[in-house]
Amino acid sequence: MQSPLPFFPEQASSIAGNVDALFAFVVLTCVFFIVLVVALSAFASFRYSRKSEREVGDTVAGNLVLEIGWTLIPLMIAIVIFAWGAAIYVNFRTAPKDTLDIYAIGKQWMWKLQQPNGRKEINELHVPVGRDVRLIMGSEDVIHDFFVPAFRVKMDVVPGRYNTLWFRATKPGKYRFFCSQYCGTNHALMGGWVTVQDPAEYAAWLSGESGTVDPVSAGEKLFSQLACNTCHLGNGLGRAPSLNGVYGGKVLLADGSTVTADDNYIRESILQPNAKIVAGYQPVMPTFQGLVTEEQIVDLTAYIKSLQSQPPPAKGAGVVPVTTGKK
Amino acid sequence: MDEHSKAPGLQLPEKSYLNETTGIRSWLLTVDHKRIALLYLVSVTFFFFIGGFFAMMIRLHLLTPSGYMLSPDTYNRMFTMHGVTMVFFFLIPSIPAILGNFMIPLMVGAKDLAFPKINLLSWYIYIVGGAFTMYSMISGGLDTGWTFYTPFSTVYSNSAVTPAVIGVFITGFSSILTGLNFLVTIHTMRAPGMTWFRLPLFVWAHYATSIVMILGTPVIAITLGLAAMERVFGLGFFNPALGGDPILFQHLFWFYSHPAVYIMILPAMGVISELIPTFARKKLFGYEFVAAASLAIAVIGFLVWAHHMFLTGQSTYAAIAFSFLTFVVAVPSAIKTFAWVATLFGGSISFDTPMLYAFGFLGLFLVGGLTGLFLGALGLDIHIHDTYFVVAHFHYIMVGGAVMGYLGGLHFWWPKITGRMYPEWMARIAALVLFIGFNLTFFPQFVLGYLGMPRRYHVYPPEFQVYNVMSTAGASILAVGYLAPMIYLTWAAFYGKVAGDNPWPATGLEWKTASPPPTENFHVTPIVTWDAYDFHNRPDLDLDVPHAPALAPAHGDD
């Protein structure tokens, strides 16, 4: 199926073609300069080889035009490569709207992946072909990195924050993924397979497992188990802000700045509640660092996300003095 | 041994720095820069072969995809200790502390470096740092990767991280003191007539290197100090569970460790800038451009560190800025490469071993530098970051570039250091073997990287095996290529043909004194009246200089 000495990995994502095109362009640039330097050196070595023991070379010691030329020409070629590369990168870092969001949690030495409906996988990832998929990735321990060579994408998975990675698979099939940031003993075993399926096949697969718990209801359950609901009252009269309609919007902070309530903000607010205090509230929330796993944070986030559609409390409700808040 | 010399006309000087005083104390307490350079030569060579042993273990282990030889933990220790040893104890000190230490005072016409006792101190600091790191290797090993990324290194690793980090911390001061010594020497101790633009480019390169050593090394010391405190005392700098930021570590680490690449390659470029004019018997083309390029690399090199971190989640704008600066820093290297090639034209080229190394450097550094364009391009880095492409790239720079430069310089100055010639044909064959072995080892790794093989893998998917077998085969050839010079250079130091003061001949001041030089370097302080590599105004070299008819219309003697 494959040549015994392959040079390119399979192309199976929307950006792979452009990455390979830039790669080919830079290869040609390199070949040009290598051939130029080797040919000139070989010619000079032959033409100007020493004829007698006491011979010396000529007295030419520079040429301003040449020197300026070989400063500017490489600079211009470099700028072309830079700009092309930057264009690919900006596209890669800017996820399109309406992505299929899948959570990926890395831990020594496995990947846990969770589909939007809560179906979980270990070291396997199923995605539909032709759909923009965004991985929201966190780590339980050290830095990992999610790398799919056939898609030409990778992104570090850093503890303490979410990094995201988006791609659009273009060809059904099975492709390897790797952990490409060294993470300890079994770093090399921390990989698996991405299965790209037709949308119908994917939908069938997605609903094919019994016992899948919807992350929203799992999150709702946790929300009361951890007693989050005793302060974060929906009506805005609690000791903590209502979470209705918060996700995706702007939040005004005590220091006057605003922050977008995205996954990273919610995660941080659970683990380091005092990092960003909502305007009008006291820093009274305890940290949940060590009390919740990354996967539970994903469920809690899913629940908070689901509150997006709930109407936020009336204006002013959020700044009720904490002492009058109900228990 | 002098009596056995083959060349009847040439005699070793009766008294030189090698035999002026004798006994182990005279070496261990010496303040002579030349003897300190030899102390460095012995210790750096020791670390090179330790690091080389680890490399051989890595390559043998990767012969098969299943990793038949070492356990995962052992393999991880091998590549980590290979990296730490080679970077901090071989590459960084190699050319500056051996060849720079020996040659810079001679090249500027001084009796010694500005601070001879500090020079000795820096060697002892290096040895103490090395001892700590060796202790880490035998007391549990080190498995963090040479990059010590947190929080793996500070929280999760079960290996002897702390002594290794202390060792690297200590060794840094050796580097700072060497850089300081060079800067002060170059500024204040140049012989009469040795103006800045008459300095050999080897000296310019070390001037630029010294700036990086002095400004960069304290940052790695602080960084590793913080990491050690986090590991030992649980202070939260980098561990997110303690409120720290693991990415902060990477910023601090690469703020030094990227410029450190220039500590390794600039001195090698300096060597090549000596070799090519000498063996082409011609002034270097565009001397001022090449000198300025060294300084430009040193300065811009401080502004590109985050190109190691494009995929950490750093801001897109930061990535674009760092990518752009990365392409800018490529330009001075291009200037140098073209200058070396242009020097060949109109020259009188001989193919002695040092020149073969210079050619080898040219080709390998070119590949190494050009493949940096791939990694600096943001869109390509997404795919090849942390793959074998990176491994191949930096070995082309560090081994193909820096080690070729080092060996070229070692052969070039061996007759000056020891007073004796190495065996020419054996050396030429060894250089060729090295070149072939090197390419066979590392070129396949570019392909492996683009195919997607991540680095630091103790096992790998079977489809990657073909290229790994090639690489391991190449490494075996490479090993022979490294052992050979060690053996014949050592032999030549005692039994080689007596070289004479200036066997090539070359134009630098170091060749105006005896081989090996006397302890005080020059009996009479030299006065410089010529430019660097100016073969035409050097009647003392006894070359056939064509006389311009307008200047010398009637000329009797030659």
Parse chain A into domains and list their residue ranges. Answer: 8-41+63-212, 215-324
Q: Do A55 and B385 touch (CB under 8 A)?
A: no
Minimal C-alpha gap between B485 and chain A (Å): 25
| Chain B environment of A54 (Cβ under 8 Å) | 542-544
Q: What is the pLDDT of residues A129-173, one digit of tens each?
A: 999 999 999 999 999 999 999 999 999 999 999 999 999 999 999
Q: Is the dihedral of CA B423, B425, B431, B436 positive or negative?
A: negative
Residues A17, A241: Cα–Cα separation, whole Å: 47
Q: Is A122 left (phi over 0), alpha (psi -120 to 50) or beta?
A: beta
| Chain B environment of A48 (Cβ under 8 Å) | 280, 344-349
Instruction: Specify the pLDDT at position B548.
Output: 55
Q: Do B283 and A61 touch (CB under 8 A)?
A: yes
ipTM of this complex prediction, to 2 decimal places? 0.90
Residue type, B197: F
Residue type, B462: P
Measure CB to CB from residue B344 to each of A41, A89, A158 and give the nearest one: A41
Report the candidate in A32, A150, A13 with the shortest Cα–Cα distance to residue A81: A32
Cβ pair B320, A86 in contact under 8 A = yes
Q: Do A184 and B371 touch (CB under 8 A)?
A: no
Minimal C-alpha gap between B300 and chain A (Å): 14
Instruction: Specify the pLDDT at position A209.
Output: 77
Output the CA–CA distances (angstroms, integers) from residue A31 to A28, A34, B397, in the order listed.
Answer: 5, 5, 17
The mean pLDDT value for A236-247 works out to 86
Minimal C-alpha gap between A260 and chain B (Å): 16
pTM of the model: 0.91
Q: Do B366 and A8 touch (CB under 8 A)?
A: no
Instruction: List the A120-122 sheet strands across, edge first.
Output: A120-122, A110-114, A100-107, A132-139, A163-168
pLDDT higher than threshold 80 for residue A194: yes
Instruction: Specify the pLDDT at position B382.
Output: 96
In the CATH hierarchy, which top-level class contains the domain A8-41+63-212? mainly beta
Same CATH fold, A215-324 and A8-41+63-212? no
Q: What is the pLDDT along chain B (558 residues), one digit of tens a residue?
A: 444 444 457 888 989 999 999 999 999 999 999 999 999 999 999 999 999 999 999 999 999 999 889 999 999 999 999 999 999 999 999 999 999 999 999 999 999 999 999 999 999 999 999 999 999 999 989 999 999 999 999 999 999 999 999 999 999 999 999 999 999 999 999 999 999 999 999 999 999 999 999 999 999 999 999 999 999 999 999 999 888 999 999 999 999 999 999 999 999 999 999 999 999 999 999 999 999 999 999 999 999 999 999 999 999 999 999 999 999 999 999 999 999 999 999 999 999 999 999 999 999 999 999 999 999 999 999 999 999 999 999 999 999 999 999 999 999 999 999 999 999 999 999 999 999 999 999 999 999 999 999 999 999 999 999 999 999 999 999 999 999 999 999 999 999 999 999 999 999 999 999 999 999 999 999 999 999 999 998 888 888 887 654 444 444 444
Q: What is the pLDDT of residues A10-69, one digit of tens each?
A: 999 999 999 999 999 999 999 999 999 999 999 999 999 999 988 998 888 888 999 899
Instruction: Specify the pLDDT at position A312.
Output: 78
Residues B44, B116: Cα–Cα separation, whole Å: 20
How do beta strands A258-260 and A250-252 pair? antiparallel
Output the CA–CA distances (angstroms, integers) from residue B454 to A181, B61, B508, B510, in the order listed.
Answer: 8, 16, 46, 47
The helices-and-strands tally (H runs, E runs) of chain B is 17, 0
Residues B511, B527: Cα–Cα separation, whole Å: 14
SS3 of residue B174 by DSSP: helix
Contacts 24+ apart (CB under 8 A), B153-156: B153/B227, B153/B231, B154/B227, B154/B230, B154/B231, B154/B238, B154/B239, B155/A142, B155/B230, B155/B231, B155/B239, B155/B241, B156/A108, B156/A141, B156/A142, B156/A184
Name the closest residue on chain B to residue A22, using Cα atoms.
B380
Minimal C-alpha gap between A247 and chain B (Å): 21
Angle formed at CA B76 by CA B70 and CA B77, multiple of 5 degrees? 90
SS3 of residue A10 by DSSP: coil
Measure CB to CB from residue B327 to each of A81, A89, A147 and give the nearest one: A81
Cβ pair A172, A129 in contact under 8 A = yes
Q: Do A185 and B73 touch (CB under 8 A)?
A: yes
For the residues of A79-92, what is the DSSP string, one character each? HHHHHHHHHHHHHH
Measure CB to CB from residue A49 to each of B288, B349, B456 and give the nearest one: B349
Q: Do B451 and A154 touch (CB under 8 A)?
A: no
Report the candidate in A270, A248, A267 with the shortest Cα–Cα distance to residue A259: A248
SS3 of residue A300 by DSSP: helix
Instruction: Specify the pLDDT at position B8.
Output: 56
pLDDT higher than threshold 90 for residue A103: yes
Q: B interface mutation test: which of A47, A51, A156 has the most B CBs within 10 A?
A: A156
Cβ pair B282, B188 in contact under 8 A = no
The mean pLDDT value for A190-198 works out to 95
Instruction: Specify the pLDDT at position A207.
Output: 87
State both tokens at A180.
Answer: 């490409």
Exposure b/e, B167-193, CB count within 10 A at least 16 = b: bbbbbbbbbbbbbbbbbebbeebbbee
Residues B129, B121: Cα–Cα separation, whole Å: 12
Instruction: Specify the pLDDT at position A228.
Output: 87
Cβ pair B130, B43 in contact under 8 A = yes
How do beta strands A173-179 and A250-252 pair? unpaired
Residue A110: strand pairing partners: A107
Instruction: List the A153-157 sheet strands across, edge first.
Output: A124-128, A192-197, A173-179, A144-148, A153-157
Q: Do B152 and A189 touch (CB under 8 A)?
A: no
Cβ pair B224, B165 in contact under 8 A = yes
Residues B336, B201: Cα–Cα separation, whole Å: 11
Name the closest residue on chain B to residue A26, using Cα atoms.
B374
| Chain A environment of B460 (Cβ under 8 Å) | 188
Place of tokens 């850089």: B179
Instruction: Specify the pLDDT at position A2.
Output: 58
pLDDT higher than threshold 80 for residue A175: yes
CB atoms within 10 A of CB A264: 19
Q: What is the pLDDT of residues A259-312, one digit of tens each?
A: 988 888 888 889 888 888 898 888 888 888 888 888 888 888 889 988 888 887
Instruction: Specify the pLDDT at position A26.
Output: 95
Question: What are the structural domains, with CATH classification, of chain B?
Answer: 2-541 (1.20.210.10)
Residue B371: strand pairing partners: none
Q: What is the pLDDT of residues A204-222, one digit of tens each?
A: 999 887 777 888 888 889 8
In the CATH hierarchy, which top-level class contains the domain A215-324? mainly alpha
